[in-house]
């Protein structure tokens, strides 16, 4: 399907189409294309059509409908849903169905959105390529021999391949922005605390944030205006900061703004094609009236190491609950409680999850806590202070999303460090809790999409989205993948 969220809402509101017709088109696109990319873990065609019929009934009766009435949405499979599995792409939870629904899913349904299915991810959201899923591998929407990016690869591919106009992902260290960049779509990580994490299966509790993946920035603003807001069930949710978007209502021109550029974001390992497109993107921002300012982020070089200490420590703690007793996979070969715990976890978790649990347990252990975890927390404070100082001078900071475009399937699976370095430009925003967005800014020599990252001040998503929207106007960077038009 080629329509944006905005187009669908407008057409349904004017009576030019129906929710059932839109959802049927989405389901047909999934049936035609998903076998080539494997973005979906499950599809709820019957439930989606029933929900669409209810939207149409309410419209016909003159009843109020929400701002996303009739819009098909895909949900990353680490976000809890009623009546659909929540597997986290793990053997540990392959038979699990949540008894409650995530706050963001409740908000989407209340707004009239139609959940059509759940999307694949790296197991427990731990990965940068979608190759760590225990279920199957999702591949890039532009080239099946390239990775989808992770961990929200299924959501990004579902949007890029025109199967849904929007999807939800989660971002702990770049898991929305990286696959958005690799697949040529828009991915927004909101400010930490902006969107409720209630019902998001925890990976790194001080880092995780749910956000939208869409075709364009206006759609991201529309979806964020629905999912953001107060939720007393999430202790990290910031109250009293509603998101009200100008561009969702048609405003397109941001106020004059300045863009910070840090040399630390253009160092060793950055592919020439990515550098050229990102620099051209910064030049386009200048054409839109932005003032470009050189800034320093001196502690950014430590961000990736800092992140992989804090994130693994929090993962070790959060995943301790999967013990074969409360819920999740339970081994059939145990003679005592120790074997029950150990065998259940060995059988249920994949290699990357085990690696991160062991790393996290190590950095939290007696004798190493101060040397690693405490030191990482101190560095995290320095990284946040770097951003605070930079934002005294500029409104947004521009950088690459990733050092390269989507790499080839299998290229980095045997080298965890190389895989981790795919997140080198994204983790700092999570450590500082900043809002950050990936927007398409070009293509490499093989025709693979390239993303430009914009980071903004805390809770200034509206300005970030307005700039992104203006940037994309008049370009064809955010076009759908060739899957949507095989003849091209």
Active site residues: 76, 151, 175
The closest alpha carbon to 456, from 210, 238, 194, belongs to: 194
| Residues 418, 429: Cα–Cα separation, whole Å | 20
- Rounded Cα distance, 230 and 241, in Å: 8
CA 115 – CA 50 distance, rounded (Å): 11
Over the range 43-69, which residues count as b (16 or more CB within 10 Å of their CB) and which as e?
bbbeebbebbeebbebbeeeeebbbbb
Tokens representing 6? 């905005």
The backbone torsions φ and ψ at residue 275, rounded to the nearest 5 degrees and listed phi first, read: -55, -45
Picking from 133, 216, 226, 207, the residue whose alpha carbon sits closest to that of residue 180 is 216
Contacts of 439 (CB under 8 A, 6+ apart): 186, 217, 451, 452, 454, 468, 471, 472, 477, 478
Which CA distances in Å does 395 have to 181, 254, 296, 438, 461?
22, 11, 14, 16, 11
């Amino acid at each position: 399907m080629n329509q944006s969220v905005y187009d669908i809402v407008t057409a349904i509101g004017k009576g030019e189409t129906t929710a059932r017709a839109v959802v049927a088109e989405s389901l047909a696109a999934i049936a035609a294309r998903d076998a080539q990319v494997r973005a979906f873990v499950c599809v709820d065609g019957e439930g989606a059509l029933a929900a669409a019929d209810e939207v149409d009934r309410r419209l016909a009766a003159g009843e109020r409908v929400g701002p996303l009435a009739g819009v098909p949405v895909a949900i990353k499979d680490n976000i809890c849903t009623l009546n659909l599995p929540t597997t986290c792409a793990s053997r540990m939870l392959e038979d699990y169905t949540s008894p409650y629904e995530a706050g963001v899913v409740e908000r989407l349904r209340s707004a009239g959105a139609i959940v059509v299915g759940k999307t694949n991810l790296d197991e427990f959201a731990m990965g940068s390529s979608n190759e760590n899923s225990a279920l199957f591998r999702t591949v890039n929407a532009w080239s099946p021999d390239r990775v989808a990016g992770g961990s929200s690869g299924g959501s990004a591919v579902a949007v890029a391949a025109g199967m849904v106009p929007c999807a939800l992902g989660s971002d702990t260290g770049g898991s929305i922005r990286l696959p958005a960049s690799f697949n040529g779509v828009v991915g927004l990580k909101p400010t930490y605390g902006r969107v409720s994490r209630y019902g998001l299966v925890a990976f790194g509790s001080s880092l995780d944030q749910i956000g939208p993946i869409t075709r364009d920035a206006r759609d991201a603003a529309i979806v964020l205006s629905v999912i953001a807001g107060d939720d007393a069930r999430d202790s990290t949710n910031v109250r009293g900061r509603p998101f009200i978007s100008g561009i969702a209502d048609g405003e397109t021109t941001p106020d004059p703004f300045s863009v910070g550029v840090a040399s630390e974001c253009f160092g060793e390992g950055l592919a020439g094609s990515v550098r050229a497109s990102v620099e051209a993107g910064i030049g386009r921002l200048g054409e839109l009236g932005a003032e470009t300012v050189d800034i320093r982020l001196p502690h950014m070089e430590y961000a990736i190491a800092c992140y992989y200490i804090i994130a693994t420590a929090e993962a070790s703690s959060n995943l301790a609950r999967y013990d074969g007793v409360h819920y999740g996979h339970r081994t059939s070969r145990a003679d005592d409680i120790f074997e029950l715990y150990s065998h259940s976890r060995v059988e249920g978790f994949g290699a990357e999850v085990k690696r991160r649990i062991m790393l996290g347990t190590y950095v939290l252990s007696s004798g190493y806590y101060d040397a690693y975890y405490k030191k990482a927390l101190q560095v995290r404070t320095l990284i946040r202070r770097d951003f605070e100082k930079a934002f005294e001078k500029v409104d947004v900071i521009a950088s690459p999303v990733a050092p390269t475009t989507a790499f080839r399937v299998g290229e980095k699976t045997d080298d965890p460090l190389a895989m981790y370095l795919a997140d080198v430009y994204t983790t700092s925003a999570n450590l500082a809790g900043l809002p950050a967005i990936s927007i398409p800014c070009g293509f490499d020599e093989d025709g693979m999409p390239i993303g430009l990252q914009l980071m903004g001040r805390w809770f200034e998503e509206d300005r970030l989205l307005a700039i992104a929207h203006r940037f994309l106007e008049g370009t064809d960077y955010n076009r759908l993948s060739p899957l949507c038009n095989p003849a091209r």
